[in-house]
Structure 1
Amino acid sequence: MTNHKNEMSFGLFFLNSKSPFKSEDEELRNGLEQIKVADELGFHSAWMAEHNARDYGVVTSSTVYLAAAAAQTKRIKLGSAVARLPLHHPMQLAEEMTLVDVISNGRLYVGVGKGYDKLEFDAYNVDFDERHARFEESLDILKAALTNPRISYSGQFFNFSDIPINPRPIQQPGPPLFVMVSQNDASIINAAKDGYSFVLGGIKNDDTLHKISLYRETALAAGYSEDYVNDAMARSGKLLFVYVAETDEQAYEEFKEGLMWYMSERDNRPVFGVVQRDKVLDYNEFLKSENAIVGSPDKVRRDIEKFQKETGLNNIICWMNIGGQPNDRVIKSMNLFSKEVMPYFCNVETYQKI
């Protein structure tokens, strides 16, 4: 085993798809069960997406699902991945987030994004072309509301004066904010300038290394202390497809059906660097992707070692339950990962304090 000199942390991602393999209520309950098991197994974090009007994601409010997860867990960090700011009133979202922070006793991570799916905006009658401006204004309000007991604001979309924000969060000055980083460098530069942590999507290892180096350089130049930057980066991570079974062949076979169904549903944008728009995913090529870590415990350990060496990033957010994977298989994968992979990279009791 390693000496844990550069300890890693491992989280889980939950999209909760309404796949052909199970009902949506079964999928939602399975997700909560998996989060409860993850807490018991020592996973560091659980991240919950929100979507509307789409079968590939049926959690329409990340805060509602976060609150349910908070009530049944004790240690695991709980994050939104992401709350789509243009589709929320920022004051209400702030109040819901602070409430979740209280319910979880200070375990909330607040991940935010613009949203990318025009259908979701149309369903809520929000102008898709306004999403950037709404995101920027809402993020300013959200940050202020998470860290101040009263706020005032005057902008294009929102105007209010001296409004109290209740309840106050357990974490002070407020829960950490995360932004989702896209392939262009502007998003990581903006995150660094604002002092936010980040979650990376489907980019290659060399670009991951480039972006985290750019983040550190930009954040320090912006005046943040070395300790602040180290803490923000320790919380930051990358989303990867991860699945573990007793053998490589078993893992490949078990992971395939749910993944391929999900990819067939995700035709509105390129997906995590493993398939391009209007092209059919080749599963064997997917397994070779740097964003896929699928196999036996031994192979998964080797792949993680390679990822850490090539990127310098110590936090992986594992997407095990993609596309309505059977609940028993996901929990088996989580158990194998916890018992036969994580101990090589971290002391669970230590990294759960990050």
Structure 2
Amino acid sequence: MAILGKDMTFGLFFLNSVAPWKTDAEELRDGLEQIKVADKLGFHTAWIAEHNARAYGVVSSTSVYLAAAAAQTSNIMLGSAVSRIPLHHPLQIAEDMALVDVISNGRLYLGVGKGYDQLEYEAYNINFEERHERYLESLDIITTALKNHKVTYSGKFYDIKDIPVYPRPVQPSGPPIFVMVSGNDASMINAAKQGHSFVLGGITNEDTKHKIDLYKKTALESGLTHEYVTDAVARSGKLLFCYVAETTEQAQEEYRRGLEWYMSERDNRPTFGVITRERNVDYERFLTSDNTLVGSPEKVIEDIKRYKEVTGLNNIILWMNIGGQPQKQVLKSMELFAEKVMPHFVEEKSLVK
């Protein structure tokens, strides 16, 4: 059983969904305000999703939104979750992300993924069936570009000969790279072999522990040092639904509208193991999931303790603004979490005032 010390960190996840009651501009500006407030409240990370052609996610470029967030914050780490690297030229991604690292003074985490939505590929005239091969080539090029001043690469999709890469990132070895992992052990094994950190979602606490143990074992067997593996896991986290109000009943009622709209809109993939492709969400089942932290501060504290005891993972990425939640409610939830929940898990000196 894990020891419950005050060694946790908490981040926020942003999908920037445009629900019928909000405009694109309102949602995007609300998200930037939430990141600015999160920076002051002591949240450790802010993670931005990337989509196109879908109302449930209107940030088409994580680097642009992260640059805007970087310019208005001082302490919070800023991550892409994810940059869909098969949909962009890998050198462009490396250059844009290095620029964000400079603007933020070394506060960038680079989350990478393939993308799962065929419509998004069709919109950019890129073959959906090629996404895995493109992902592997792009990741190689991006990793090289962020660590080296020049890139030479020859592959199926890209032929790059001794091209300089500017600007150089502030972080000496480049921003840490994260991969998103859900149900597939193979994704965790690949991340471990490559030495990348990870963000988990859609799995039980028990499976979370299994995957972390698998990651450590695979990484060490691949020749990575114990210190490197410890650091990589320490940066990693799990994405959970979260909303806090004065009472559990209030939290569950306020969170419901945005969640149900989002789940009805996002019908191309089930989410987090608790939502099916059916239009009607089983909200009561959702509330009992390992992936849900919705309630009073006292309830959320107990749920986090249980999560930590089973998984041993120190980081949680909280999805508070799902489906265009009203701004006042989201900011209130963030404040309650920072004031009533966070002090139970984070040393006071680590909190930004």
Q: What amino acid is aligned across from residue 51 of structure 2 in structure 1?
A: H
* Equivalent-residue separation in structure 2 for 1:315 and 1:270 (angstroms): 24
Question: For 1:60-71, what aligned pairs fall within 5 Å after superposition?
Answer: 60-71=60-71
Tell me, yes or no, if structure 1 residue 35 matches structure 2 residue 35.
yes
Q: 1:282 to 1:252 in 2, by over 3 A?
A: same
Please name the residue that 1:261 is paired with: 261
Asked if 2 retains the 8 angstrom alpha-carbon contact of 1:181 and 1:188, the reply is: yes
Please name the residue that 1:163 is paired with: 163
Tell me, yes or no, if structure 1 residue 110 matches structure 2 residue 77.
no
Asked if 1 retains the 8 angstrom alpha-carbon contact of 2:275 and 2:281, the reply is: yes
Q: What amino acid is aligned across from residue 154 of structure 1 in structure 2?
A: S
Please name the residue that 2:7 is paired with: 7
The DSSP-based 3-state class of the residue aligned with 1:273 is coil
Q: 1:44 to 1:253 in 2, by over 3 A?
A: same
Please name the residue that 2:332 is paired with: 332
Identity %, equivalent residues:
65
Tell me, yes or no, if structure 1 residue 223 matches structure 2 residue 240.
no
Asked if 1 retains the 8 angstrom alpha-carbon contact of 2:17 and 2:57, the reply is: yes
CA displacement, residues 105-142 of structure 1 (integer Å, 9 cap, x when unaligned) = 00000000000000000000000000000000000000
CA displacement, residues 41-92 of structure 1 (integer Å, 9 cap, x when unaligned) = 0000000001000000000000000000000000000000000011010000
Question: For 1:1-354, what aligned pairs fall within 5 Å after superposition?
Answer: 5=5, 7-278=7-278, 280-347=280-347, 349-350=349-350
Question: How far has the Cα of 1:266 moved from its partner?
Answer: 1.2
The DSSP-based 3-state class of the residue aligned with 2:110 is strand
Gaps of 5+ in 2: none
The DSSP-based 3-state class of the residue aligned with 1:92 is helix
The DSSP-based 3-state class of the residue aligned with 2:162 is strand
Q: What amino acid is aligned across from residue 183 of structure 2 in structure 1?
A: Q
The DSSP-based 3-state class of the residue aligned with 1:81 is strand
Question: How far has the Cα of 1:348 moved from its partner?
Answer: 5.4
Question: How far has the Cα of 1:33 moved from its partner?
Answer: 0.1
CA displacement, residues 124-180 of structure 1 (integer Å, 9 cap, x when unaligned) = 000000000000000000000011011100000000111101000000111000000
Q: What amino acid is aligned across from residue 317 of structure 1 in structure 2?
A: I
* Equivalent-residue separation in structure 2 for 1:16 and 1:286 (angstroms): 21
* Equivalent-residue separation in structure 2 for 1:110 and 1:351 (angstroms): 23
Q: What amino acid is aligned across from residue 68 of structure 2 in structure 1?
A: A
Paired residues, number: 350
Asked if 1 retains the 8 angstrom alpha-carbon contact of 2:42 and 2:351, the reply is: no
* Equivalent-residue separation in structure 1 for 2:348 and 2:101 (angstroms): 22
Q: What amino acid is aligned across from residue 303 of structure 1 in structure 2?
A: D
* Equivalent-residue separation in structure 1 for 2:4 and 2:66 (angstroms): 30
TM-score (norm 2): 0.97
Q: CA RMSD in A?
A: 1.2
Q: What amino acid is aligned across from residue 38 of structure 1 in structure 2?
A: A
CA displacement, residues 201-231 of structure 1 (integer Å, 9 cap, x when unaligned) = 1101110010000001111111111111111
Q: What amino acid is aligned across from residue 167 of structure 1 in structure 2?
A: P
* Equivalent-residue separation in structure 2 for 1:179 and 1:302 (angstroms): 29
Q: What amino acid is aligned across from residue 131 of structure 1 in structure 2?
A: R
Question: How far has the Cα of 1:277 moved from its partner?
Answer: 2.8
Asked if 1 retains the 8 angstrom alpha-carbon contact of 2:42 and 2:350, the reply is: no
TM-score (norm 1): 0.97
The DSSP-based 3-state class of the residue aligned with 2:178 is strand
Gaps of 5+ in 1: none
* Equivalent-residue separation in structure 1 for 2:164 and 2:178 (angstroms): 24
Asked if 2 retains the 8 angstrom alpha-carbon contact of 1:245 and 1:295, the reply is: yes
Question: How far has the Cα of 1:302 moved from its partner?
Answer: 0.2
CA displacement, residues 1-47 of structure 1 (integer Å, 9 cap, x when unaligned) = xx973511100000000101211100000000000000000000000
Per mean C-alpha deviation after superposition, the further-off stretch among 276-285 and 303-312 is 276-285
* Equivalent-residue separation in structure 2 for 1:309 and 1:155 (angstroms): 45
